[in-house]
Amino acid sequence: MDMSHSIEQTPCELIFDLDGTLTDPALGFVHSVNFSLESHGISPVEEDDLKKFIGPPLDGAFREILHLDQDKDVSSFVSKYRERYSEVGFSENILYDGIPDLLVALRGLGLRLGVCTSKRVDFAERILTLFDIRQHFEFVNGAEVGVKKSSQLKELMDQSFIDTHSIMIGDRHVDIEAAKANSMRSVGVLYGYGSKQEIEEAHPEWIAINPKALLNIFVDLTAKAAKL
């Protein structure tokens, strides 16, 4: 995992998911999934039917799309997906409105930011650089096939990049559940790919309907902390 680290490293306060939280990956995801399926002689799937798979690990998505048991090997499907994604799919991301201003404002509050995504780290780095927002983050953490986000957060905690005071921000239940598994708080955002019901049932400490609402959560928290 490509993360700069130093002895002086102190835990980041806010940890962002990437897909569905900072950027909208739908176009590149759908096209790359269908490229993989068609490369294996399987008919493409409608865009609306694939969007629900955005966010969780890619191997699990392919197993569900193909109706396979959890122990079935889907590495060839993942490999074909990444073949197209590496060439063009990553560039088909769309930056959500308000994200650059949000990141600038959060750093202006004195908060330190990181990224933890199920996406492979080199893809995440390229996407963040594409939209000129990489400089806002202290680290970028990505995952290989089969790695759970809860394990990613634990590793980050073990390496002192984050701690139990850090807050995970994401649009799917896996983000919130991963935070809970590591005794962290979380924010569920509703502008990504998790439904309101999904987010509410995961029980994050806060819910934000858009980036402005997300900023307001941390403005309030920072103001309360300053009074202590």
Catalytic residues, by residue number, are 17
**100 burial level (CB within 10 Å; 0-12, 13-18, 19+):** middle
